[in-house]
């Protein structure tokens, strides 16, 4: 009962002041168990219950107006402005750094947004956050975080631009390369396909769809698609095609695989041995004929020199001539055969040396090289490729058809027996693009492409 009486609300600011008067009366309840107090706000002009209700309503409106005026009279002590860009359909989190904030309000294009599944309010340290689950064109415009602090009013404004969801037909960033391998080796076809939405991909061999088997594996990592053949056979040779398509278009690329049988090289050696044997027999026959002619000349000279001897001696020589001639011819043939064999092997060795050298040479092959590398502007970028080949191949790094370093001191190329390194110092955005590593020797050539990406700061 002591709370009864008249109350006055006084509101004052730089524009003036305003008063409101209220009277509080407390009635006793007829029940002894509990007391229910009801308040009634009246004014001196109240004439009836209806007019009293109208007056109370007016007073409520006045109080709301006064509260708004009080809030608007807070001094703005800080404000910030940020530009935001987001793709339609993505999630977006806005962060406003406001220490000791209270009465947080997020306002989209002049309309306050309520905490909901689409718009989630949050706090992380001194950051006030608003997470938009799925951005649409509706969120484009000005989003403001408004908060009160002990020092005054703080506003953080975000100018948001919403771009349409990207729609892109499939296209190849890196195409698969044709390959020549020996039977039993593993084969890997790799390519990179871009497109939005992500395309559907299928592999074909000689226009027939490829299915996963015990020796064929298909894999995908982000936009990189791989076909791997384990222990390739001659039957795996053919044309391999990858097709990619989405609702905006399609693309395809074809590469060939040639699996070489291991029987080819021994066949060549057999031919060489046969030819060598034939040549040997021919040379041996020639030397045998020469030895017989030499023996005959020797016998003729002996008969002429003994003509002055006695008849008995002549008869003895003639009776022994058949035996002695056979023995002498056998000796000469053996001697000449040994000599001819030595000459024959020497000639065969000299004729086979360049042929064997040719058979043991290897065409160049790039064993390892990254497909994509990236770096930040101003940093150094290193690309290394491992290769093989006999004799050691010549190495070139090219970009846009020009051999590096092409007079640019930022480019450096270092080569060893099986490694080539390209170094780019202080990379620029203009350095982005495709770089080609090319190898060649007298047995063939090989090349591969590296895509260089420069990350924006």
pLDDT, tens digit (0-9, with 9 covering 90-100), for 155-179: 899 999 998 877 788 999 999 999 9
Residue ranges with strand state E in 135-282: 141-149, 152-163, 168-174, 179-182, 187-196, 200-205, 208-209, 216-221, 224-229, 238-246, 249-260
Among 186, 192, 219, 179, smallest CA distance to 371 is for 192
Q: Is the pLDDT of residue 39 over 90?
A: no
Burial zone of 183 (CB within 10 Å; 0-12 exposed, 13-18 middle, 19+ buried) = middle
Domains recognised in the chain with CATH numbers:
5-72 (no CATH), 76-163 (2.60.40.10), 170-260 (2.60.40.10), 268-360 (no CATH), 363-454 (2.60.40.10)
Region 67-94: mean pLDDT is 74
Mean pLDDT of 44-65: 47
Between CA 11 and CA 21 the distance in angstroms is 12
Continuous segment of H or E residues that includes residue 410 = none
Q: Report which secondary-structure segment, H or E, holds 1.
A: none
* The predicted structure's pLDDT at residue 358: 53
pLDDT at 304: 38
Would you tell me the crossing angle of helices 264-305 and 311-360 to the nearest 10 degrees? 160
Give the separation between CA 77 and CA 149, rounded to whole angstroms: 9
CA distance 341 to 161: 92
The whole-angstrom separation of Cα 188 and Cα 179 is 9
Burial of 420 (0-12, 13-18, 19+ CB in 10 A): buried
- Count of other CB atoms within 10 angstroms of residue 243: 18
What's 112's DSSP letter? E
Per-residue pLDDT averaged across 73-93, rounded?
81
Residue at token pair 């009836």: 48
User: Of 149, 322, 181, 176, whose CA–CA distance to 244 is shortest?
Assistant: 176
Report the pLDDT value the prediction gives residue 174, as an integer from 0 to 100. 93
Query: Token pair for residue 229?
Result: 């053949």
pLDDT band at 121 (very low <50, low <70, confident <90, very high): very high
For residue 342, pLDDT beyond 80: no
Contact 240, 204 (CB under 8 A): yes
Q: How many CA atoms lie within 13 A of 320 on its CB side?
A: 10
Three-state DSSP state, 265:
helix
Instruction: Give tens-digit pLDDT for 287-313.
Output: 444 443 444 444 444 443 444 343 333
What is the token pair recorded at 98? Answer: 């406001």
């Amino acid at each position: 009962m002591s709370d009864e009486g008249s109350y006055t609300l006084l509101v004052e600011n730089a524009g003036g002041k305003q008063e409101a008067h209220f009277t509080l009366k407390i009635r006793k309840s007829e029940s002894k168990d509990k007391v229910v107090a009801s308040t009634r706000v009246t004014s001196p002009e109240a004439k009836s219950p209806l007019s009293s209700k109208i007056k109370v309503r007016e007073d409520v409106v006045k109080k709301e107006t006064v509260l708004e005026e009080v809030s608007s009279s807070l001094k703005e002590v800080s404000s910030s402005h940020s530009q935001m860009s987001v793709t339609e359909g993505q999630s977006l989190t806005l962060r406003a750094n406001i220490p000791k904030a209270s009465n947080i309000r997020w306002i989209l294009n002049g309309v306050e947004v309520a905490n909901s599944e689409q718009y989630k309010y949050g706090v992380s340290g001194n950051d006030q956050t608003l997470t938009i689950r799925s951005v649409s064109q509706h969120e484009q415009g000005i989003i403001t975080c408004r908060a009160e602090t002990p020092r005054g009013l703080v506003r953080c404004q975000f100018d948001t631009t919403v771009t349409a969801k990207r729609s892109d037909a499939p296209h190849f960033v890196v195409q698969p390369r044709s390959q020549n391998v020996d039977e039993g080796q593993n084969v890997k076809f790799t390519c990179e396909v871009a497109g939005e939405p992500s395309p559907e991909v299928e592999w074909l061999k000689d226009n027939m769809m490829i299915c996963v088997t015990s020796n064929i594996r298909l894999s995908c990592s982000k936009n990189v698609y791989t076909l791997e053949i384990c222990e390739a056979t001659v039957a795996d040779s053919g044309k391999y095609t990858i097709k990619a398509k989405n609702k905006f278009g399609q693309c395809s690329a074809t590469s060939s695989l040639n699996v070489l049988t291991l029987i080819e090289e021994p066949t060549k050696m057999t031919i060489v041995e046969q030819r060598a044997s034939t040549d040997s027999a021919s040379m041996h026959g020639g030397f045998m004929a020469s030895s017989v002619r030499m023996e005959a000349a020797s016998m003729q000279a002996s008969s002429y020199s003994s003509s002055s001897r006695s008849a008995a001696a002549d008869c003895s020589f003639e009776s022994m001539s058949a035996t002695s001639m056979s023995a002498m011819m056998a000796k000469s043939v053996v001697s000449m055969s040994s000599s001819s064999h030595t000459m024959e092997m020497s000639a065969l060795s000299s004729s086979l040396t360049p042929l064997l050298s040719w058979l043991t040479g290897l065409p160049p092959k790039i064993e390892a090289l990254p497909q994509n590398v990236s770096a930040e502007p101003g940093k150094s970028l290193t690309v290394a490729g491992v290769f093989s080949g006999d004799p050691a191949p010549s190495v070139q790094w090219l970009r846009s058809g020009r051999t590096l370093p092409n007079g640019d001191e930022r480019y450096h190329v270092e080569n060893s027996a099986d490694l080539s390194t390209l170094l780019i110092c202080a990379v620029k955005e203009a350095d982005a693009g495709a770089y080609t590593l090319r190898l060649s020797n007298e047995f063939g050539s090989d090349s591969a492409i590296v895509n260089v990406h420069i990350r924006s700061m």
